[in-house]
C-alpha cells in the first residue's frame, strides 16, 4: 500500500497549493460568506480559496456548516452575506441548473424511474447535446467507472457500490469545473469504503478535476485529500495538508477533533529560539522543542498524541525530553494497537498507545503495573488557543 502512487503520503502536493505557487488564481473563492437559518448562523464570515486540480476535504462534526457551504456552491442555498466567486466571477443569483459545478449526493439521488444510462444521460440532455455525442460520452464515462454494460439496469438492480459509481458518473459526464461530493462514501460498508477511497483518488488524479468533499470521517479526509478544511460551528478553524492538521493542529479543538490526544494545561516558564519550558499542573515541568510567542506566565496547552508516548517498565536513560513514573489503570487491546491509561504519581491520567509488534508484547505490561512514560522534546505541540 505504501508504494501505491495514489497514497496521499507518497503523492506529490498539488501544483497550486497555497505557499507553493502564491501567484495562482483560485478556482473557487468563498469571500466572507455568511448563511443564517432562522437567526442561527450555519456559516459565519467564512473565507476559503480552492485551487485548480485540488482535492479538498471539508471536515467537521454534523451541524458545523460544511454541507451548507457545499450547497451554497451548488446553488441550493443563497449566502446572506459575502460572495462566492467561480473563476473570478460572482455566481450569486445563478440558479443551480446553470452552474458549471456538479454534485454527488449523499443518498446518490439516482432517479429510480430511469435506467443507469438514462440517469447518466440526464444532464447532457438538459444541455441539448446531440444524441450521438450523448451516447458516446455516456459509454465512455461508464467505462471509466467500470460499469460497462450496465446502462439498461435500473438503480434498484445495482449494489451499493455500483450505485455510488453511477452517481459519480452522472456528475462527471457533465465535465464540471468542480465536483462536489457530499459524504460520498458514507452509504457504503467499511470494506468497500476503503477500496472506493483509492478508486476516487485515482480517478481524480487521472481526469485532473477539482474535488470538494464534505465528510465527518477524519480517516477519509486524511487519506484522500490534498488539503483539509476543519470546520467548527460555521467557521473554518484550520486549513492545511493532512499531516499538518494532525501534527501541527492550531487549536485545542482541532487537536481533539482529529485523532486522539492528551491535552495538558500548562503555564509558560520561559521560551527561547529553539525551545521552551512549561510548568504543567498535575504533570510537572516539560521542555518542548518549539518556540512560543507569549509572555512568561501565560496559560497554554500541550497536545501530546498517545502514540508519541513510550511506555516502559524501566526508567529511560536518555535525558532528552520528559519522563514520569506512573501506574497502569487499564489497557484497551485493539489487536494492532494497545491503548494504555496511565496514572502519573501526581494523579494526572495520560493516554499512550503502542503497536503490538511482537506477538507477545501485549502481555508484557499488565494492569496495575508500575511503569515509566517518556516522550521526546519534539513530541508535544504547544497550543495557544
Partner 1 sequence: MSERTIAARRRWASRLVIVIPALWLAAFFLVPFLIVLKLSLSQTAVAQPPYVPTFDLAAGWQGLRDFFAALSAGNYALLASDSLYVTSYLRSLRIAAISTLILLVIGYPVAYGIARASRRAQLVLVAAVVLPFLTAFLIRIYAWVNILQREGLLNDALLGLGLIGDPIVWLSTDTAIYIGIVYSYFPFMVLPLYATLEKMDESLLEAAADLGCPWWKAFWLITVPLSWPGIIAGALLCFIPIAGEFVIPDLLGGSDSLMIGQTLWTEFFTNKDWPAAAALAVVLLVVLLVPIAIYQHLQAREMGSR
Partner 2 sequence: MRRGLSVFNVTALALGLAFLYLPIVILVIYSFNASRLVTVWGGWSTRWYLALLSDNAMLEAAWISVRIAFLSATAATVLGTLAAVALVRGGRFRGRVVFSGLVYAPLVMPEIITGLALLLLFVAVDVERGFWTVTLAHATLTMCFVTVVVQSRLLSFDMSLEEAARDLGCPPLKAFFTVTLPLIFPAVAAGWMLAFTLSLDDLVIASFTTGPGSVTLPMRIYSEVRMGVKPEINAVSTIMIALVAIGVIVAAVVTKRGAIVRERATGDR
Q: Closest separation between CB of residue 2 and partner 2, Å?
A: 34
- Residue 106's binding partner among partner 2, partner 1, none (Cβ under 5 to 8 angstroms by kind) is partner 2
- Residue 93's binding partner among partner 1, partner 2, none (Cβ under 5 to 8 angstroms by kind) is partner 1
H/E/C letters for each residue in the chain? CCCCCCCHHHCCCCCCCCCCCCCCCCCEEEEEEEEEECCEEEEEEEEEEECCCCEEEEECCCCCCHHHHHHHHHCCCCCCEEEEEECCEECCCCCHHHCCEEEECCCCCCCCCCCHHHHHHHHHHHCCCCHHHHHHHHHHHHHHCCCCCCCCCCHHHCCHHHHHHHHHHHHHCCCCCEEEEECCCCCCCHHHHHHHHHHHHHHHHHHCCEEEEEECCHHHHHHHCCEEEEEECCEEEEEECHHHHHHCCCCHHHHHHCCCCEEEEEEEEEECCCCEEEEECCCEEEEECCCCCCCCCCEEEEEECHHHCEEECCCCCCCCCEEEEEEEEEEEECCCEEEEEEEECCCCEEEEEEECCCCCHHHCCCCCCEEEEEECCCCCEEECC
Binding mask 74-113 for partner 1 (x = CB under 8 A): -------------------xxx--x---------------
Q: Closest separation between CB of residue 59 and partner 2, Å?
A: 21
Q: Which of residues 93-132 bind partner 2 (CB under 8 A)?
A: 95-98, 101-103, 105-107, 109-113, 122-123, 126-127
Q: Does 39 bind partner 2 (CB under 8 A)?
A: no
Q: Closest separation between CB of residue 35 and partner 1, Å?
A: 17
Q: Closest separation between CB of residue 92 and partner 1, Å?
A: 9
User: Of the two residues 151 and 226, which places its CB atom closer to partner 2 in the complex?
Assistant: 151
Q: Which of residues 163-182 bind partner 2 (CB under 8 A)?
A: 170-171, 174
- Residue 296's binding partner among partner 1, partner 2, none (Cβ under 5 to 8 angstroms by kind) is none
- Residue 346's binding partner among partner 2, partner 1, none (Cβ under 5 to 8 angstroms by kind) is none
- Residue 109's binding partner among partner 2, partner 1, none (Cβ under 5 to 8 angstroms by kind) is partner 2
Q: Which residues contact partner 1 (rule: CB under 8 A)?
A: 93-95, 98
Amino acid at each position: 500500500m505504501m508504494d501505491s502512487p495514489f497514497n496521499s503520503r507518497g503523492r506529490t502536493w498539488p501544483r497550486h497549493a497555497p505557499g507553493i505557487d502564491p501567484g495562482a488564481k483560485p478556482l473557487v473563492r468563498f469571500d466572507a460568506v455568511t448563511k443564517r437559518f432562522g437567526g442561527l448562523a450555519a456559516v459565519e464570515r467564512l473565507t476559503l480559496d480552492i485551487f485548480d486540480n485540488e482535492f479538498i476535504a471539508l471536515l467537521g462534526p454534523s451541524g458545523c456548516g460544511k454541507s451548507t457551504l457545499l450547497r451554497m456552491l451548488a446553488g441550493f442555498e443563497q449566502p446572506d452575506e459575502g460572495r462566492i466567486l467561480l473563476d473570478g466571477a460572482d455566481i450569486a443569483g445563478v440558479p443551480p441548473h446553470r452552474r458549471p459545478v456538479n454534485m454527488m449526493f449523499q443518498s446518490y439521488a439516482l432517479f429510480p424511474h430511469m435506467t443507469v444510462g438514462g440517469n447518466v444521460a440526464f444532464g447532457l440532455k438538459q444541455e441539448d447535446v446531440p444524441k450521438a455525442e450523448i451516447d458516446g460520452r455516456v459509454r465512455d464515462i461508464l467505462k471509466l467507472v467500470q460499469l460497462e454494460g450496465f446502462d439498461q439496469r435500473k438503480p434498484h438492480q445495482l449494489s451499493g457500490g455500483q450505485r455510488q459509481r453511477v452517481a459519480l458518473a452522472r456528475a462527471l459526464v457533465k465535465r464540471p469545473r468542480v465536483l462536489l461530493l457530499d459524504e460520498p462514501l458514507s452509504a457504503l460498508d467499511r470494506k468497500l469504503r476503503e477500496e472506493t477511497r483509492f478508486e476516487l483518488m485515482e480517478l481524480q488524479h487521472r481526469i485532473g478535476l477539482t474535488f470538494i468533499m464534505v465528510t465527518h470521517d477524519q480517516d477519509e479526509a486524511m487519506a484522500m485529500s490534498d488539503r483539509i478544511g476543519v470546520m467548527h460551528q460555521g467557521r473554518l478553524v484550520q486549513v492545511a495538508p493532512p499531516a499538518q492538521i494532525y501534527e501541527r493542529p492550531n487549536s485545542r479543538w482541532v487537536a481533539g477533533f482529529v485523532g486522539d490526544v492528551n491535552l495538558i494545561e500548562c503555564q509558560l516558564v520561559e521560551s527561547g529560539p529553539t525551545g521552551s519550558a512549561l510548568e504543567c499542573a498535575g504533570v510537572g515541568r516539560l521542555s518542548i522543542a518549539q518556540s512560543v510567542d507569549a509572555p512568561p506566565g501565560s496559560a497554554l496547552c500541550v497536545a501530546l498524541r498517545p502514540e508519541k508516548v513510550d511506555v516502559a517498565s524501566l526508567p529511560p536513560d536518555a535525558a532528552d525530553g520528559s519522563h514520569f513514573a506512573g501506574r497502569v489503570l487499564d489497557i484497551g487491546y485493539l489487536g494492532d494497537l494497545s491503548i494504555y491509561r496511565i496514572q502519573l504519581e501526581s494523579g494526572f491520567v495520560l493516554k499512550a498507545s503502542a503497536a503490538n509488534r511482537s506477538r507477545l508484547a501485549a502481555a508484557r505490561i499488565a494492569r496495575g503495573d508500575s511503569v515509566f512514560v517518556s516522550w521526546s522534546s519534539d513530541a508535544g505541540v504547544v497550543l495557544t488557543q
